[in-house]
Structure 1
Amino acid sequence: MLHRALDETYPGEVRHNITKLTLARTAANACFRFAPAFLATIAGGLGISLDRLGVALAISELSGLLSTTTGSVAERLHRRTAMWVGLVGVAMGATLAAASTHVVVFTIALVVIAQSKVMFDLGLGAFMADRVPFAQRGRVMGITEISWAGGLLLGVTTMGLVTAATNWRVGYGLGAAAVVAAAAFVARSVPDDLPNQGHTERREHVAGRIGRRGRMVVLGVFCLMASSQVLFVTFSSWLKDEFDMSDTGVSMVVFGMGFGELLASTSAARFSDRWGKERAAAIGAAVMIPAVLLLAAGHQLLALGLPALVVAIAAFEFSVVSFIPLGTEVVPGAAAKGMALMFTMGTFGRATASIPATWLYVHHGMAWPPLLCAALAACTVLVLSRVSRQ
């Protein structure tokens, strides 16, 4: 289905596998994104406060500092192996989360999910980078990035509805089952590395050094991911506390956010190569700023605050999808290692934002977190303006 968006100038292996790989990543993203969307529900189930679970989420995000190590491993594995091993790890982490009865065990489960998803994402990104020239990479990675929106639109929404009918543990169990199925068809269906993409050739390029432009790219990712995390860890608590919304209601909001992200992903896939990846990413981050300022001003009115939230999340998605192809060039000759470095800074940005965002919400309500988000989005625009001049 998704292959129709790629013409004959793209390699056949990419066109034939892009749909199944996007579906696999959708399942993995659903497990990864479930906790922030239902943070208040999970905190209640574990018998802890929201800000304490926010600390646990920050600790799990700090595991992103291991992403460079994961990237070095992924660079030496066959691309297909990296992908199915990562998916199996995500399923194991989701299963552990479903079985957890203590916040420490739940935190470990989140770490397993996060690092396993990094392994899969690096394998997928390198698989595409091996086969698609940089000039065409924005469209391909924009299509696969639909899975980020799909993980929320289809995956988290479905897991949330199951949570409303049963509990959040069953929701995680459903996610784990979907990822196991995805791992099976990736292992069986995705082709192995091409003869001229063997491990010896890749090792010759792993030692490439990150330049000034690469450092600015990863700094921009840090600011952008931190800004989005502020919203992701507070919106469900805001909806429940301010408007007494049920888990079913939150699931419907998540569906709307996912739909907005889907539109943003497809738009980024269409325009990022044409506009320039740095410019497109900056435009998305810039749109976030007025949206979150409106959310801060109208957080007591659902008709005002909710549309502002959806626009801000969609703008973030447009920005991050445009950003991703830049990661494949951060470390010359080592696409997986460069993406790993970008993921490391992105997860570090989320970890950095999780604690102050939940603290601000618990102590000051929803007026203050969006202001923090706006400041971080503005930093993203500033950094990208310097990247485009490199």
Structure 2
Amino acid sequence: MTGNSKQFTKFICVTTFTKFLFNITRRLIYPFAPEFARGLNVDLSAITSVIAVNQATSLLGPVGEGFADKYGYKILMLFSLALLTIGTFAVGIIPVYSLFVIALFITGVGKSIFDPSLQAFIGNFVPFAKRGQIIGITELAWAGSTLIGIPLSGVIIERFSWQTPFFIIGGFSLICFFIILKIMPKDKKSNTPSKSKTLMLSNWKTIIKERKVLGMLSFIFFMCLGNDNLFVIYGAWLEKSYNLSLIAIGFGTVFIGLSEILGEGCTVLFADRIGLKKSIIIGVSLCAGAYFLLPVLNIGLPYVITGLFLVFFFFEFAIVTAMSLSTELVPELRAST
């Protein structure tokens, strides 16, 4: 694939769209949590519990990522796509709360495996000087989920049902499965000498000893925790305080999507030039400042949207740059880090 730029470009396009599907599945529940609660006949707190369970899957990701280092990225990426397909179709077919929890859990596990496996695969093929640019391009799928995916989902839910978007995601994920199966080369297994069952444990011992890796994991965890605490009440906040409809909430996320795509665009254009470490410091500092502005701006819908725009812009710039830097912390175990 390294010698075929067109093939690599096609691969990046397909995997970026796949990330787009994973991201819609992950983020769909946030703005439409009240609608899901009504559809499943449960309290809103039950839906926020599902969000917490879904986010907890990120802690299980390293288990799968260890297998990616051992067995290859392609197998794990296909496995994660299978989880997405099964989970989304299950939600669409059987609208039961218990199954809803399980289905979103396995799709969350799939995302937690797919994302670092793709980043590690890119890390093996793209020079460090260009890595921020390529990973930044794939991360456009995150902004795309709010810029395109959530607004369309709002229209679909309003006109059909809250289950319909899951059917559509399941169909597209199945198509992506076969495309990746065909165009992605079978990568080599990890070059680490041990082939025993203790390989993954050995890898994690190596990672734990690296303070810079633990620091990066903690940074990403707490950044995402803060962002999710805001996003989890986003839909209910706008619906209750400003009387917005499902379609209005969906299209309101366009501003968040624009902020994220601008943040990712700044990563692509400036992070490598400024330096990844400096870019992260700048991004997280400005993001913290934007959070402090939110209570002040809660005096009208335009001001709230402006505050959310700033928060998600600086968050996205910082987090995508951090992902680019993390691929070089322990190069031989890229998926695990």
Normalising by structure 2, report the TM-score.
Answer: 0.89
Counterpart in the other structure of 1:376 = none
Aligned mates of 2:228, 2:284 — CA distance in 1: 14
8 Å contact kept, 2:136–2:320? yes
Counterpart in the other structure of 2:112 = 118
Q: Does 1:60 align with 2:63?
A: no
Shift of 1:129: 1.2
2:142 to 144, 148, 153: 148
Counterpart in the other structure of 2:33 = 39
8 Å contact kept, 2:51–2:232? no
Counterpart in the other structure of 1:199 = 189
8 Å contact kept, 2:284–2:318? yes
Shift of 1:179: 1.5
Q: Does 1:167 align with 2:161?
A: yes
Shift of 1:15: 3.9
8 Å contact kept, 2:7–2:183? no
Counterpart in the other structure of 1:309 = 308
8 Å contact kept, 2:69–2:190? no
Counterpart in the other structure of 2:75 = 81
Aligned mates of 1:99, 1:155 — CA distance in 2: 21
- Structure 2, unmatched stretches of 5+, are none
Amino acid at match of 1:133: P
8 Å contact kept, 1:27–1:182? no
Shift of 1:16: 4.7
Aligned mates of 1:94, 1:160 — CA distance in 2: 17
Aligned mates of 2:263, 2:39 — CA distance in 1: 33
8 Å contact kept, 1:153–1:258? yes
3-state SS of 1:35 partner: coil
Q: Deviations over 1:251-271 (max 9, x none)?
A: 111122112211111111111
8 Å contact kept, 1:40–1:236? yes
8 Å contact kept, 1:11–1:131? no
Counterpart in the other structure of 1:381 = none
8 Å contact kept, 2:255–2:305? no
Counterpart in the other structure of 1:297 = 296
Q: What does 1:134-283 correspond to in 2, within 5 Å?
A: 134-193=128-187, 198-199=188-189, 201-202=191-192, 207-208=202-203, 209-210=206-207, 211-283=210-282
Aligned mates of 1:307, 1:213 — CA distance in 2: 34
What RMSD in Å do the two structures reach over aligned CA positions?
2.3
Normalising by structure 1, report the TM-score.
Answer: 0.78
2:66 to 64, 72, 77: 72
- Structure 1, unmatched stretches of 5+, are 1-7, 339-390
3-state SS of 1:229 partner: helix
8 Å contact kept, 1:31–1:176? no
Shift of 1:306: 1.3
Amino acid at match of 1:199: K
Q: Deviations over 1:193-223 (max 9, x none)?
A: 2xxxx21525659645121111111111111
Identity fraction in percent: 24
Instruction: From the superposition, tell whether residues 199 and 155 of structure 1 become closer, same or farther in structure 2 (CA, over 3 Å).
Output: same
